[in-house]
Amino acid sequence: MKEASGDDYTTRRVTTRTSYLQRALQATLTIWLSLIVVSIVVFGLSESLRLAGVESNSNLLITFMVALVLILLALWLVPRSLLTLKGE
């Protein structure tokens, strides 16, 4: 009887460790994917503004502001449990 409860504890510990690693990997990939999408959008916006003839300083300012808003929006939309790595 004692051996069965010890196996249960070990199984739970391994499962918890595996689920934590899975959540950490999922959070890391989600954050990287968000940053990649923001980078692509910002690069496209910057090039579009350059081709439209917007001067360099205004282009940089507009691009920076849009990037900041997109990053804040991405952080707001990602579930908090994903960022803190706590269970639901």
Q: Which amino acid is at 81?
A: S
In this prediction the pTM is: 0.69
Q: For every one of its 88 residues, what pLDDT tens digit does the chain have, with 9 covering 90 and above?
A: 445 565 666 666 666 677 888 888 888 898 899 999 999 999 999 999 999 999 999 999 999 999 999 999 988 888 777 667 666 5
Domain ranges of the chain: 2-84
Which residues are CB-neighbours of 45 under 8 A, at least 6 positions away?
Answer: 62, 63, 66
pLDDT at residue 81, as a whole number: 72
pLDDT at residue 23, as a whole number: 84
